[in-house]
Amino acid sequence: MSRTGNAREAAEDSLEDYAFRYVPRTFRRWSAASVGATALGSIAFLADFSIGASVGIDHGTANAVLGILFASVIIIIVGVPVAYYAARYNLDLDLIARGSGFGYYGSIITTVIFAGFTCIFFALEGAIMAQGLQVATGTPLWLGYLISTVVVIPIVIYGMRALERLHFWTTPMWLALALLPLLWILVSDPESVSAFMSFGGKSDGSISFGAVVSSAAVCFALTPQLAEQIDYIRAMPPRTPANARSWWTSFALSGPGWVIFSGTKQIIGVFLAVYVLVKVDPTLGHNATEPVKQFVGMYQTLLPNWLAIVLALVLIVVAQVKINVTNAYSGSLAWSNVFTRVAKHYPGRTIFVLLNLVIAYALMMLDVFTLISFVLSLYANVVMAWLVTIATDIAINKWVLRISPRFPEFRRGMLHDWNPVGLVSVGLASVLSLLAFAGLLGTAVKPFSVLIAIGVAFVATPVMALATRGRYYLRRRSDGIDAPLFDEHGNPSGERFRCHVTGYMFERPDMLASAQRGSHGQLQYVSSLALTLDSSDRYVLPPEVTGPPHRATDRGRGT
């Protein structure tokens, strides 16, 4: 197939996912409230309960709850600027990272980190479903892993529209099954609350800063869920005076606010673990971290045994499908984005759905669930280095120092391939925090490795921007098109231009002037998608000699 033909095929296929480009207005027909509700539907995952239970059993209720609250506050702070750019400019995290310190090809590193997250959490959720099937039906774990993997395929291949319908119909059921029994126990059994408050876990129950940070470190590994939320909120409608209140509310709850719900579920996980250990089976030990044990135990104190198992299984299956269609969807977008930029060929997103599922299944077979605390604590170091770097570039380099261009540029030809600002910051923060995690910087420092990742990324990002004077952000200031990039409300313009490579119409933020003139010397336009798939530079305008980046690129008026 020719490059032009592949570009046309990618344009048609990406109408449901926009894996490597701006999400146009013509696709964003949902209301802000509808987008927000769909995004919140994806946080029904049960790994929260396991994570909360795990840190609770290890460090006790007080340290676990403080750690969860500490992590939640940091995640909100990191999430606000990143989620805002996604909702306002309708870009996924990979596209935001390109113009926020990493460069056109440099952001591939961050996308691989995120793709790894989707595989790990798919495996954790799939393992939870397999555990539920084993308890309810005696299904062998390996078969349960396989069932939990393939069940999402028919839904996820259809993209955003299918996911929106799934979350709309299943969220009320999930809420009822998860919360109503819990509320009944809290009201009818005050002793369970007392046992929860006094639970010391494997520690002596006293509050320790090291135990709080160790608890938070596991929770920090959930931060990439922000990128999955972004895969939904990038479909937010243009913000106008008429919908401003709804827009901001939906953004706050489904963007950075997702962690409020996640943190609450983690604390509930601590409670459920304590409840089943005290009220149901004191011999469970660390198996109390398994949601199937938690919910079956909770239901058994209220209902007949057979009904408790059925309801627990329904809850687990619904929750697993809700989150794993999102994991598979977001993972497929990430892998396809990486492959397409490197290979200059788009083989279709379905292939990457299958790749994501194969990796996740392999992790399940390796029993990643039993190592949940270690795996997530290790992963959190790299995760926080990555996301703090992007958030710092947006909040500090763009808005305070005004070195990074205000608009998150993502188009090939406008960006340098590599930007040392993000790459050095992530590399330095990751290496130092992993050395600390491994104990190579001393045992006293080891519990604080994730704080090292956060602190180094926060400091190194602006330092690198100042040291390089912003030279590696933009290759060009002008995209060669005179039409404004934004409308009167500061939203990306909906004006459309025809791409001379694919023949399709694309909206203004997706377009650049082509270096290849028409047959009569007229100006032609080329889409960012066509540039992504082109292995030459024939359509790319030459670089410009530029001054300080912020002066010519504060195009994000009305933000």
Q: What DSSP line would sit under 358-397, residue for residue?
A: HHHHHHHHTTGGGGHHHHHHHHHHHHHHHHHHHHHIIIII
Which residue, 303, 280, 302, 301, is CA-closest to 290?
280
| 8 Å CB contact between 500 and 523 | no
Lookup result for tokens 């901001």: 248
Distance CA 347, CA 42 (A): 27
Contacts of 58 (CB under 8 A, 6+ apart): 64, 201, 202, 203, 214, 215, 373
Give the model's pLDDT for residue 200. Answer: 87
Sign of CA dihedral 37, 334, 104, 401: positive
Give the model's pLDDT for residue 37. Answer: 83
Q: What does the buried/exposed string (b/e) look like for 157-185 if buried means 16 or more CB atoms within 10 Å of the residue's CB?
A: bebbebbbebbeebbeebeebbeebbeeb
Distance CA 126, CA 362 (A): 11
Is residue 496 classed as helix, strand or coil in its secondary structure?
A: strand
Q: Residue 506 pairs with which residues in a beta bridge?
A: 497
Specify the DSSP class assigned to residue 303.
S
CATH of range 31-374; options 2.60.40.420, 3.40.50.300, 1.10.4160.10, 3.20.20.10: 1.10.4160.10
Give the model's pLDDT for residue 471. Answer: 93
Give the model's pLDDT for residue 553. Answer: 43
Question: Which CA distances in Å does 290 have to 50, 122, 128, 462?
Answer: 6, 15, 7, 42
Distance CA 369, CA 360 (A): 12
Output the tens digit of pLDDT for each of the chain's 559 residues.
Answer: 455 555 555 555 444 467 667 889 888 888 999 888 878 776 777 888 888 999 999 899 999 999 999 999 999 999 999 999 999 999 989 999 999 999 999 999 888 988 888 888 888 888 888 988 898 888 999 999 999 898 888 777 665 566 666 666 777 887 888 888 888 888 888 888 898 998 988 877 788 888 999 899 888 888 888 888 898 899 999 999 999 999 999 999 999 999 999 999 999 999 999 998 888 888 887 788 888 888 888 888 888 888 988 888 888 888 887 778 878 888 888 888 888 888 888 777 788 888 889 999 999 998 887 777 788 888 889 999 999 999 999 999 999 999 999 988 999 999 999 999 999 999 999 999 999 999 999 988 988 999 999 999 999 999 999 999 999 999 999 999 999 999 999 999 999 999 999 888 999 999 999 999 988 889 999 999 889 888 888 999 999 855 555 443 444 444 5
Can you spell out the DSSP letters for 116-172? Answer: HHHHHHHHHHHHHHHHHHHHHH---HHHHHHHHHHTTHHHHTT-HHHHHHHHHHHHH
Question: Which CA distances in Å does 247 have to 87, 485, 494, 530?
Answer: 9, 21, 18, 32
Give the model's pLDDT for residue 10. Answer: 53
Specify the DSSP class assigned to residue 284.
-
Sequence spans of domains, the chain: 31-374, 472-559
H/E element holding 512? strand 511-513
